[in-house]
Amino acid sequence: MSSSANKAHDGQLSHKEIMAVLSGLMMGMLLAALDQTIVSTALKRIVEDFNGLSHYTWVVTAYLLTSTASTPLYGKISDLYGRRPVFQFAIITFLIGSFAAGAAQTMTQLIIFRALHGLGAGGLMALTFVIIGDIVSPRDRGKYQGYFGGVWGLSSVAGPLLGGFFSDHGHILGIAGWRWIFYINLPVGLAALVITSASLHIPKVKREHKIDYLGALLMVSAVSALLLAVSVFGPENGWTANKTLVAFGVAAALLIAFLVQENYAKEPILPLTLFKNHTVSITSILAFIIGAGMFGAIIMVPLYLQIVQGNSATAAGLKLIPFMIGIVSMSIYSGKTISKHGHYKRFPIIGLTLMAIGIGFMTTLGTHTPYWKLAIYACLIGMGLGFSMQTIVIALQNAVEFKDMGVSTSANTFFRSVGGTIGVALFGTIYANKLARELPKAIAQVATTNPAAMAGANPEKIAQLRNNTSVLKTFTPQLQEGIMGAFVKGFHAVFISALPVILIGLAVAFFLRETPLKTGAAHAAARDEAAGESVG
């Protein structure tokens, strides 16, 4: 009788037990999600402290390389060794990386420790969705969807806010302000470790295993070469530079070698047979596109607020609250509706439509656009993400066998991370190239129509504009207005480029097949069957 009080009648955990597990998972996920945004606003201050401006991109790239490349590995390894020990390994790795990055004394140390940091983050992001897929049936999962949407929304606002706050303060409690960006992870991570130790009790399934080490090496190497090409060599040296083309070539060769290896491996890291499943293929494409559209386009909004509207980093973070509201509200609504009616296909379609509308409106931003308009546009994009992001994970987990839950879910997270990384790099390049063309035109036009407005604008100051907009304050109002117009055109180019990407995603969403969501009893039976096959 006591066991029935603790468990739901269908073998699933009770709501109280699920919420206990979720509290630990959400803390872990918050660490990884927050880290994607909190560091960006403080990076300038950090690299200036180390006189390492020339290595600016490596602080970000080192983290992205290890977090993205390790994501699929965590899913497979957790399938073999159990969720809890692997998830806790990710938390501990993340905490060690956080402490070490906060204590770094040189730029080289910071880059190395950020790589360690990312290794832990890859597991936190991937395994959160894997574990919730283990303990909650697809039909019931929508009830808890809003909590994860809330974590994403909170991180998108709190990240820039905290990053701006810490970087704006020279010292806090005798420690350089930017170091607290990493130290703040320690109490949250320790709490996640304690909670998961107490509440995360998923039966460990013993099974014979053989890890495909060669496949893992080829995959990590291929992803690393690709990310180096799109996030470092391409933006720094040009997309047709020898270094960039070689990196792309190496990535392609390693990818082919990886596919050949996976085809013959007895127990592949990423089973290619998974992609014969229609839903796995469609959700992977959608994850990539949502990642590119979300990270590539929305990252420009705080930049617009700071450069064009003159907001501080902290104020820009606060002004993203409508974006968070959109994510959280629609995550909760769609999740509850899915649990009630069992239909999910409509939500990615609605979500990508809203994202397309929001990004389309972003192309109308000007130098004096009132904030209420921007708030509506950001809210629309957030609503689109709230409808889409968690829903495709539910569709995926409903479509795969229980034994493939870990590897398929982490692969989906992997595609979203790769999409985000490529989106940031490509849209950043589009912005920089457009600005490089428009800035000289705007300055030349002011010089021609109003020569007096050029007072104090020497060539050295103008050259600084692309990397340091604080010099704008020394220019006349007329010249500032002209230059702001050039920056706005740069932002327009990004949003115009992001729009067709989202529209392609919308077209793909129509091909998603809707199958009945597994209920608690069916989900528990599939779990027990997978356990039985593993033991046998």
Confidence check: pLDDT of 292 > 80: yes
Q: Are residues 429 and 399 in the same domain?
A: yes
Phi-psi region of 203 (alpha: psi -120 to 50; beta: other; left: phi over 0): beta
Closest CA to 373 of 309, 312, 313: 309
Confidence check: pLDDT of 349 > 90: yes
Q: What is the mean pLDDT of residues 323-335?
A: 85
**Does residue 453 sit within a domain?**
no
Q: What is the mean pLDDT of residues 232-247?
A: 83
**Does residue 464 sit within a domain?**
no
| Structural domain boundaries, residue 51 | 10-211+269-446+480-535
Q: Are residues 322 and 430 in the same domain?
A: yes
- The model's confidence at residue 253, banded by pLDDT at 50, 70 and 90, is very high
**Does residue 397 sit within a domain?**
yes
Question: Residue 504 has what pLDDT?
Answer: 94
pLDDT above 90 covers a percentage of the chain that reads 15
Q: Are residues 260 and 356 in the same domain?
A: no
pLDDT higher at 36 or 256: 256
pLDDT higher at 5 or 234: 234
**Does residue 247 sit within a domain?**
yes
Question: Residue 250 has what pLDDT?
Answer: 93
**Does residue 459 sit within a domain?**
no
Boundary residue ending a domain (268, 286, 315):
268
Confidence check: pLDDT of 7 > 60: no
- CB distance 124 to 29 below 8 Å: yes
**Does residue 472 sit within a domain?**
no
Q: Are residues 286 and 168 in the same domain?
A: yes
pLDDT higher at 536 or 139: 139
What phi and psi values does residue 342 have, to the nearest 5 degrees? 80, 5
Question: Residue 360 has what pLDDT?
Answer: 93
pLDDT higher at 461 or 56: 461
Question: Residue 57 has what pLDDT?
Answer: 62
Question: Residue 83 has what pLDDT?
Answer: 79
Would you tell me the crossing angle of helices 405-449 and 477-509 to the nearest 10 degrees?
150
Whole-model pTM over 0.75: yes
Q: Are residues 310 and 424 in the same domain?
A: yes
Q: Are residues 250 and 304 in the same domain?
A: no
- Helices marked H in 15-173 — which ranges? 15-38, 43-49, 56-81, 83-103, 107-135, 138-168
Please tell me the distance from the alpha carbon of residue 225 to that of residue 209, in angstroms, as a whole number: 29
Number of domains the chain is built from:
2
Q: Are residues 335 and 190 in the same domain?
A: yes
Q: Are residues 337 and 396 in the same domain?
A: yes
Could you read off the pLDDT of 475-500 as tens digits, one per residue?
Answer: 777 887 888 888 889 889 989 988 99
Confidence check: pLDDT of 327 > 80: yes
Give the position of tokens 């660490």. Answer: 31
Would you tell me the crossing angle of helices 371-399 and 405-449 to the nearest 10 degrees?
160
Question: Residue 6 has what pLDDT?
Answer: 42
- The model's confidence at residue 510, banded by pLDDT at 50, 70 and 90, is very high
Q: What is the CATH number of the domain that holds 315?
A: 1.20.1250.20
Q: What is the mean pLDDT of residues 271-297?
A: 84
Confidence check: pLDDT of 347 > 70: yes
Q: Are residues 129 and 241 in the same domain?
A: no
Could you read off the pLDDT of 411-445 as tens digits, one per residue?
Answer: 888 888 888 878 877 887 888 888 888 888 888 88
Q: Are residues 82 and 119 in the same domain?
A: yes
Confidence check: pLDDT of 376 > 80: yes
Q: Are residues 391 and 438 in the same domain?
A: yes
- The model's confidence at residue 147, banded by pLDDT at 50, 70 and 90, is confident
Boundary residue ending a domain (249, 268, 287):
268
Q: Are residues 153 and 287 in the same domain?
A: yes
| SS3 category, 60 | helix
Confidence check: pLDDT of 519 > 80: no
**Does residue 329 sit within a domain?**
yes
**Does residue 463 sit within a domain?**
no
